[in-house]
Chains A and B, each alone.
Chain A
Amino acid sequence: MKMFDMVSSSVKNLPPSGIRKFFDLANEIKDVISLSIGEPSFVTPWNVREEGIYSLEKGRTHYSPNAGFMELRQEISNYLKKRFGIQYDSKNQIIVTVGGSEGIDLALRALVGPQDEVIIPEPSFVAYKPLTMLTGAKPVTVSLRVEDQFRLTPELLEQHITPRTKVLILAFPNNPTGAIMNYEDIEKIVDVIKDRDIIVISDEIYAELTYEKKHTSIASFPGMKDKTLLINGFSKAYAMTGWRLGYACGHPDLIAAMYKIHQYGIMCAPTTAQYAAIEALKNCDDDIMMMAEEYNRRRRLMLDGFRNAGLDCFEPLGAFYVFPSIKSTGMNSNEFCERLLMEEKVAVIPGTAFGECGEGYIRACYAASVENITEAMKRVKSFVARHIK
């Protein structure tokens, strides 16, 4: 028996990560300045960690209700209403998940199968496509363009809709581009889908990290709440990536379907993390603001650094990434990243990791210290100066 033959064909058919080689290389080299970690540089605020510890001291180590503690769901409901003006019933419209990622997986599994198509604008977070493929549905990617500031336009969306389209994944503020879609942009998307049977999975994990403009959720548009599954979580806003806690909100029938899968596959999200998250929602508004202000200063520093190095870079207004074009160097993304790593010991990620249309771009994360950003930008500048055509 060959074990590889035993692996299911749907998993075998998942695209291998084309840049695994680059990852391994980056992890081997010592003293690299890494601008390639997609998570906050801050640790979780102390009061939140303390609440987790306290729950352990109290012996609160059991399962929680499948959908998550009612108090947490209530706090989530209050938060979404206060922050984005959307009202969800904590009883049947919210489910607490293991990170936002589980929510995306549950939603796709609950919604689509082999006859269906899922529209995925790219460049995007790496999980949407493989998770779609595991359901048997067909991922239909849309290549976003720098001239649209990497926003989804109604024209591009229309071109990709077929009678089989069932889901649109909308992920703004965006990883890896840092693009946001504001009220007017989303309004045009709503016009395209409001009279069609299409569900929007709106991944708003970076909603708290927008600069200059507040985030608008597509779920807050008239008629869209029931057609949208909103994904959010604690990882980015509260610097809680390792706690693995997210949530999904939507129509009671969809949440009930997701609940079924969650109940069998996961049981419940980690209890300690849920206690900590209640504290986060209750008492961390100032921490969120402080972190966002700090990211904003680093964002300007990094954007200025890349532009100063002679690379074209559109201004990202969300998340914590910049997505400069490296086309002027004549190298492709992979080559640029490998050589930058070898010659200057700075790690960034090839845009192609986030979809084919990411060719010619790199992703750099400014959730790093000011000192590291400043030094890395110096190195990028001398690297580009040596190689620009």
Chain B
Amino acid sequence: MRELLDVLEKNGNYNVEQLAVMLNRSVEDIITAIKKLEDDKVIIGYKTLVDWEKTDRELVTALIEVKVTPQRGEGFDKIAERISRYPQVKSCYLMSGGFDLTVIVEGKSMKEVALFVAEKLSILDSVLSTSTHFVLKKYKDYGMEFAEEEQDDREVIVL
């Protein structure tokens, strides 16, 4: 059900009836397929993309480059999992190139993020160094552009 995943990845909001019609399957087929994808952890969850800039909530995002010492028998997994457990950490990726892990952290203020790095991240035994970059503005996230779509000002009828 590759097509089902393609459609859901773009918009998780379709109901099963819509999906059934669009994909030319029965509603039962769709329910079973989604259940299986969820059970197999192919679908790992559902989220809503929020543009917090439009609300009164203060939110700071930082991208942190982390260099670590891989551990015997564990490689990078153990330390990456440990870092991932903090709720402030939104994403954690193993990287090729000049550093090892990209850690994306969210906090209320730059100070809060800085303290997290200083008190939680850099003190971990296998962390060698960190380099923190704050996000100033988001233009696109998860394939969605933040700018308002241009209004459709075409004539109502085109033959």
Interface residues of A (CB under 8 A from B): 22-23, 26-27, 32, 34, 36-39, 125-126, 293, 297-298, 300-301, 304, 347, 349, 353-354, 370, 374
In the bound complex, CA of A38 to CA of B158 (Å) = 5
Closest to A33 in B: B156
- Interface presence of B118 (CB below 8 A): no
15 new A-B contacts, CB < 8 A, other than A36-B157, A301-B22, A349-B159, are A22-B157, A23-B157, A26-B156, A34-B156, A34-B157, A37-B158, A38-B158, A39-B158, A126-B159, A297-B22, A300-B22, A300-B24, A301-B18, A301-B21, A304-B21
B contact residues around A39 at 8 Å (CB):
158
Q: Are A347 and B3 in contact (CB under 8 A)?
A: no
Least CB distance, A194 to chain B, in whole angstroms: 33
Q: Separation in Å of the B69 CB from the closest CB of chain A?
A: 42
Chain A residues lying within 8 Å of B158, measured Cβ to Cβ, are 36-39
- Closest CB in chain B relative to A298 CB, distance in Å: 7
A49 CB to closest chain B CB (Å) equals: 14
Q: Is the CB of A297 within 8 A of B157?
A: no
4 closest A-B pairs (Cβ-Cβ)?
A: A297-B22, A26-B156, A304-B21, A36-B157
Interface size class of B (residues with CB under 8 A): 10 to 19
Interface residue from B7, B154, B159 paired with A297 (Cβ < 8 Å): B7
- Interface residues of B, Cβ cutoff 8 Å to A: 3, 6-7, 11, 14, 18, 21-24, 154-159
- The residue from B14, B154, B155, B156 contacting A370, defined by CB atoms under 8 A apart: B14
Given contacts A297-B7, A300-B24, A301-B22, contact A27 B155 (CB under 8 A): yes
Closest CB in chain B relative to A366 CB, distance in Å: 11
**CB nearest neighbor in B for A28:** B156
Query: How many contacting A-B pairs (Cβ < 8 A)?
Result: 50
Q: What residues on A are CB-neighbors of B155 within 8 Å?
A: 27, 37
Chain A residue contacts of B18, Cβ below 8 A:
301, 370, 374
The answer for the CA separation of A168 and B46 in the assembled complex, in Å, is 54
Please state if B156 and A347 are interface contacts (CB–CB under 8 Å).
yes
Is B21 touching A37 in the complex (CB atoms < 8 A)?
A: no
Across-interface contacts of B24 in A (CB, < 8 A)? 300
Q: Which of B6, B18, B154, B157 is the most central at the interface, judged by chain A CB atoms within 10 Å of its CB?
A: B157
CB distance from B53 to the nearest CB of A (A): 24
Chain A residues, CB < 8 A from B14: 370
Closest B residue to A297 by beta carbon equals B22
Interface SS of chain A: helix
Q: How far is the CA of A221 from the CA of B13 in the complex (A)?
A: 46
Interface centre among B11, B14, B156, B158 (most CB of A within 10 A): B156
Known: A38-B159, A347-B156. A293 touches B3 (CB 8 A): yes
In Å, the complex CA distance between A354 and B157 comes to 14
With both beta carbons as reference points, the residue of chain A lying nearest to B11 in the complex is identified as: A370
Chain B residue contacts of A125, Cβ below 8 A: 159
Which residues does chain B contribute within 8 Å of A298, judged by CB atoms? 22
The interface residues of chain B lying within 8 Å CB-to-CB of A22 are 157
- Which B residue's beta carbon lies closest to that of A39? B158
* 13 A–B contacts from the bound complex (CB under 8 Å): A26-B157, A27-B155, A37-B154, A37-B155, A38-B158, A39-B158, A125-B159, A297-B22, A300-B22, A300-B23, A300-B24, A347-B156, A370-B18
Q: Bound state CA distance, A349 and B155, in angstroms? A: 13
How many Å lie between the Cα of A22 and that of B18 in the bound state? 32
Give CA–CA (A148, B87) in the complex, Å. 63
Contact of B157 among A293, A300, A301, A349 (CB under 8 A): A349
- Point out the residue from B21, B22, B156 that lies within 8 Å of A36, measured CB to CB: B156
| Docked complex Cα distance between A354 and B18 (Å) | 31
Complex formed: what's the CA distance from A354 to B159 in Å?
9
What residue in chain B is nearest A363 (Cβ atoms)?
A: B159
- Complex contact B156–A27 (CB within 8 A): yes
Query: Which residue from chain A places its CB closest to the CB of B23 in the assembled complex?
Result: A297
Nearest CB of chain B from residue A144's CB, rounded to whole Å: 18
Shortest CB-to-CB span from A253 to chain B, Å, is 32
Least CB distance from A222 to B in Å reads 35
Given the interface pairs A125-B159, A349-B159, A370-B14, the reply to whether A300 lies near B21 with Cβ below 8 Å is yes
The one of B3, B21, B154, B159 that contacts A353, using a Cβ cutoff of 8 Å: B159
User: Do A32 and B23 have beta carbons less than 8 Å apart?
Assistant: no
> What CA separation (Å) do A113 and B7 show in the bound complex?
52
Q: Of residues B6, B14, B18, B21, which shows the largest number of chain A Cβ atoms within 10 Å of its Cβ?
A: B21
* CA A126 to CA B156, docked complex, whole Å: 17
Complex CA gap A3/B14 in Å reads 57
Bound-complex Cα distance A22 to B155 (A): 13
Say whether A37 contacts B7, CB under 8 Å.
no
Closest to B155 in A: A27
- A residues in contact with B157, CB < 8 Å: 22-23, 26-27, 34, 36-37, 347, 349
Q: How far is the CB of A33 from chain B (nearest CB, A)?
A: 10
Residue of B nearest to A125 (CB): B159
B residues near A300, Cβ cutoff 8 Å: 21-24
Nearest chain A CB to B33 CB, angstrom units = 15
Min Cβ gap A25→B in Å is: 9
